[in-house]
């Protein structure tokens, strides 16, 4: 039974909680006993605990009353058999357990396991706590002993392993229902749940692994995924190898339009992102005062000072793809350049200030890629960034409906819209990427891929994934202080798998 780490051959499909329940029920109807699935979950959890927390020697498993608690009792029994000092804390009376959970409790006690009734505190000497309280399916705020236990786990200095879904986190929306366990690692079972990738989930799941419990694939055939994972496999699938006889003119001419007065950096970052993505030629159209700064240290770029839209028109006629917006500003000069660009029938990537201008004068096109962060998405939709984050999937769908094209909604778990199935979610990236210029590099990468002939969705998927992988490679174990320019050297390796 394989355990799959986040970002490494994860299943493509991400489901609603109810879909995962139906998959589970079909597996049982097909002849896999519920207790067998519980045993497999416990085995997978044990393997995850030993791998992720090899130094932990004293474990305490906090068990609720349902199957998630049953998984916890199985894990505790298996840990006991490995000679680990383990105890279980129960939040419900053992005689109220039923079905497989009751059997798991009985087997653990019969093996000599210790069960302690919840009394408001946890073992102060434990160096690993296991959250087996609620798992998936929670729909209302935690209260009473359950909330107290979650808060006690969060206050404890031990590392934390969550089984299936951190208790208190909505497995459908990623919202925190009152309070939620902050896990260092979460192992989820049977099917990936949407709530593990939405809203604030990343703050609570820690790292993530998946165990399918050997459920036959046909058990999921009738379910429609809510999302799909975009990982490194996308790059190899969508980005073709180059012919040995290739010429730079085979890979398009990207025009980056941006850099209002005093803002050359954003346009430079986008242009370098396009170069590193493999565009054959990259030209920057920027305010005349910026050209020397844009070209300094990057002679491979071409740069033109643009005083007005008339200066831009000849460059647009030579370009095969345009990225517009990084550092552009929203004044009359910027507005004129955007309007001139929109008069040409070219593949477009709109970022940053181009999106802010679009919010002022909405229109829809099929040939563009929009790359808003939550604040820009809120302006495009007339809502707050908080509202966008509260329903990222809903915001993504509404952006696509109103504005057309392909939408990249940036953030932790960047989303990419699709007109050919469920949206995509990026499973790479790190908090160090919350720094200036990251979006500029992404816009350039996506536009550089578009210039090479990739379709809108393919360019968005490959660009988002390669950008996140480059961020992970550049950050290593030290994400704080990561700069957008740090990604540029890593992009070439990430785009040549």
Nearest CA among 29, 31, 85, 40 for reference residue 67: 40
Torsion region of 134: left, alpha or beta (phi above 0 gives left; psi -120 to 50 gives alpha): alpha
pLDDT of the residue at 9: 65
Task: Please tell us whether the domain made up of 3-225 is placed in CATH 3.40.50.10260.
Answer: yes
Residue located via tokens 């050359």: 264
Tokens of 36: 């067998």
Tell me what pLDDT residue 120 has: 96
Distance (Å, whole) CA 359 – CA 188: 39
Say which DSSP state 163 is in.
E
For the chain, give the percent of residues with pLDDT over 90.
94
Residue 24 Cα distances to 37, 42, 191, 197, 273, angstroms: 9, 16, 9, 21, 44
- In the predicted model, residues of the chain with pLDDT beneath 50 are 1, 7
248: Cβ contacts below 8 Å, ≥ 6 apart: 280, 281
Boundaries of every domain in the chain: 3-225, 233-494
pLDDT for 231: 86
- The rounded mean pLDDT for the chain is 96
Do the domains spanning 3-225 and 233-494 agree at the CATH topology level?
no
Nearest to 379 by CA among 403, 398, 355, 402: 355
Q: Contact 228/425 with Cβ under 8 angstroms?
A: yes
CATH of domain 233-494: 3.40.1190.20
Q: Is the pTM of this model over 0.85?
A: yes
Beta-carbon count within 10 A of 497 CB: 13
Question: DSSP state, 237?
Answer: H
The reported pLDDT for the residue numbered 10 is 78
At 7 the pLDDT is 47
What gap in Å lies between CA 57 and CA 34, rounded to an integer? Answer: 30
């Amino acid at each position: 039974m394989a355990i799959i780490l986040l970002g490494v051959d994860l299943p493509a499909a991400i489901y609603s909680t109810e879909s995962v329940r139906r998959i589970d029920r079909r597996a049982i109807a097909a002849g896999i006993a519920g207790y067998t699935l519980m045993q497999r979950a416990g085995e997978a959890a044990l393997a995850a605990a030993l791998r992720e927390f090899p130094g932990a020697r004293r474990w305490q498993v906090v068990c609720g009353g349902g199957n998630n608690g049953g998984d916890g009792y199985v894990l505790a029994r298996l840990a006991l058999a490995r000679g680990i000092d383990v105890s279980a804390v129960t939040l419900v009376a053992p005689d109220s357990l039923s079905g497989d959970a009751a059997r798991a409790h009985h087997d653990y006690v019969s093996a000599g396991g210790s069960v302690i009734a919840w009394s408001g505190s946890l073992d102060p000497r434990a160096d690993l706590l296991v959250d087996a309280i609620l798992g998936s399916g929670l729909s209302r705020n935690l209260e009473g002993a359950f909330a107290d236990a979650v808060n006690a786990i969060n206050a404890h200095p031990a590392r934390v392993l969550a089984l299936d879904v951190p208790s208190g986190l909505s497995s459908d929306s990623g919202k925190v229902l009152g309070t939620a366990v902050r896990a260092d690692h979460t192992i989820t079972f049977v099917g990936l749940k949407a709530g593990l990738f939405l809203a604030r989930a990343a703050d609570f799941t820690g790292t993530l692994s998946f165990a399918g419990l050997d459920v036959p694939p046909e058990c999921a055939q009738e379910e429609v995924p809510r999302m799909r994972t975009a990982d490194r496999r996308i790059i190899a699938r969508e980005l073709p190898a180059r012919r040995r006889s290739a010429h730079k003119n085979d890979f398009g001419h990207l025009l980056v339009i941006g850099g209002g007065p005093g803002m050359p950096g954003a346009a430079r970052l986008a242009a370098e992102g396009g170069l590193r993505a493999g565009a054959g030629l990259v030209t920057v159209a920027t305010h005349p005062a910026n050209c020397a700064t844009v070209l300094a240290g990057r002679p491979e770029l071409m740069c033109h000072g643009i005083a007005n839209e008339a200066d831009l028109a000849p460059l647009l006629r030579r370009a095969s793809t345009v990225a517009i917006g990084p550092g552009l500003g929203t004044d009359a000069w910027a507005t004129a350049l955007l309007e001139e660009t929109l008069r040409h029938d070219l593949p477009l990537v709109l970022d940053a200030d181009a999106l802010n201008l679009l919010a002022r004068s909405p229109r829809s096109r099929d040939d563009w890629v929009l790359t808003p962060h939550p604040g820009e998405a809120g302006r495009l939709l007339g809502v707050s960034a908080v509202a966008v984050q509260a329903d990222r999937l809903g915001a993504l769908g509404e952006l696509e409906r109103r504005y057309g094209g392909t939408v990249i909604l940036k953030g932790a778990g960047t989303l990419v819209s699709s007109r050919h199935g469920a949206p995509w979610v990026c499973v790479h990236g790190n908090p160090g990427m919350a720094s200036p210029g990251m979006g500029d590099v992404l816009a350039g990468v996506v536009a550089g891929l578009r210039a090479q002939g990739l379709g809108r969705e393919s360019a968005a998927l490959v660009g988002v994934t390669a950008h996140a992988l480059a961020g992970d490679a550049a950050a290593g174990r030290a994400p704080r202080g990561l700069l957008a320019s740090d990604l540029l050297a890593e992009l070439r390796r990430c785009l040549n798998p």
